[in-house]
Amino acid sequence: MNTTEISAPQELAWYKSSYSGAEGGDCVEVAAVTHVYIRDSKQSGGPVLTVGPGAWAGLLGLVAG
């Protein structure tokens, strides 16, 4: 996992969590290419967390389980 602050490529297609309501809420957005980029939906210009596909799949498995 990369914990340093980076700039995600501008051309990424970001997907907002389905739990984000009309009021915005406390949610995340995700974009996946060769890595998975994760950011706060309320601060799209803020820091981005980057993880590899295996780490993302592991996290989703833990959350779904």
Q: Is the model more confident about 5 or about 54? A: 54
**CA distance to 26, 44, 65, per residue, from 15 (Å):** 14, 12, 22
What's the pLDDT at 16?
Answer: 85
Taking only the tens place, the pLDDT of each residue in 10-55 is 678 888 877 766 665 668 889 988 889 998 888 888 888 999 999 9
What's the pLDDT at 8?
Answer: 59
Contact, 39 vs 60, CB < 8 A? no
Identify the CA nearest to 40 among candidates 63, 17, 61: 17
Angstrom distance (rounded) from CA 61 to CA 65: 6
Question: Tokens 């309501």 map to which residue?
Answer: 21
